[in-house]
Amino acid sequence: MKCSYTFKIEGKLKPSHDLIVPLDGWDYIFNIEDGYVKEIKVIVPDFPIDLTPKITPLQSGRVKANIHIPSDPFILTLKENMRSLEGLLGLYGVRSINTENPKVEWIPETEKEKTDLHLNKFKFSYVEPNDETIPPLPFDIIVRSIIVSEEAKEIQIPLAFFRRGYNDIYERRFLEAIYDFYFLIETCYGKGKSKNYAVKKELTKSLELKKFIIEVQKENDPRIFRERKLLEIYKKVYLNKSPEDVIGHIVDLRGFLHHHSLKRKDIWHPEKQDEYQVDALFLQNLCFKIAFALAEPLIFKKETIEKYQNISYRKKV
């Protein structure tokens, strides 16, 4: 049984030759389109048949079968190698190698392996929400936002940090999201302090911030609660912690991310974004409450509502 792992490549890597590279028992194959490398495929021989996926039919319920995919003995090494390759070839035109979502394909070499193999391909992917599930935003909210846009210049910067952090989450840039959300918190509650101990002291003075933290802790974000690994981290770091403890963790995390050294074995890796997903999602929920509290008094104040009601609307021709 062979197993192939295909990693998508972004960038302008234009090799002078198109050859299979055999190295330490594995074959490296470049998929080239219009002269540029679009994918790199790694073929691993002698893959254990008992580590291939197993499909168990279910007799009742809406789910027809259970798919079990055992732990892959090669994937972690492959991902680490691809991250190194990404850095090396980044000097020559590669923008990124998708190490998080490779396409995995099991290739039987005998008739028995064909019979024993339940599933021959697998790929993790992130699916966009169905547009039909997104409710339309009431038109008056949009209009009232236009009405107060001049007045909202004072909160433009913190709202920009929230929007940038939201976009970071969308692109799964969790490290960048933490920075943008932290700057929003610091802007609103830090009072210009920069030292960690001084920032913690200022943030813990805010009754509003601590109230928002408690509110977020009571909400079960499905993005976290539906994944066991994320939920375990969330319970350990955020759930049932005091607001002061949460503030301390957030400030210390930002301090940790602000520095780097190859001498530290536990230092963060800029390409291992998923390790900070829980922190980014918690901060997103917290910062939404902060940002909404800034915008709500403008959008929902009496004068804004009255001005909205007095507008003479025209139909588009």
Condensed to tens digits (0 to 9), the pLDDT of residues 3-33 reads: 999 999 999 999 999 999 999 999 999 999 9
- Give phi and psi for 220, each to the nearest 5: -100, 90
Residue 230's pLDDT band (cuts 50, 70, 90)? very high
At 269 the three-state DSSP class reads: coil
Residues comprising the chain, all counted: 317
Q: How many CB atoms lie within 10 A of CB 198?
A: 14
Q: Are 164 and 184 in contact (CB under 8 A)?
A: no
Q: Are 185 and 290 in contact (CB under 8 A)?
A: yes
pTM score: 0.80
- Give phi and psi for 252, each to the nearest 5: -65, -35
Residue 315's pLDDT band (cuts 50, 70, 90)? confident
Q: In this predicted structure, what is the pLDDT of residue 64?
A: 67
At 48 the three-state DSSP class reads: coil
Residue 61's pLDDT band (cuts 50, 70, 90)? low
Instruction: Tell me the pLDDT tens digit for each residue of 141-177.
Output: 999 999 999 999 999 999 999 999 999 999 999 999 9
Q: In this predicted structure, what is the pLDDT of residue 126?
A: 67
Cα gap 282→178, rounded to integer Å: 9
- Token pair listed for 28: 């490296």
Determine what percent of the chain falls in helix, strand and coil, rounding each to the nearest 5. 50, 15, 35
Cα gap 116→274, rounded to integer Å: 34
Point out the least confidently predicted range of 57-61, 103-107, 213-217.
57-61
- Token pair listed for 247: 């503030």
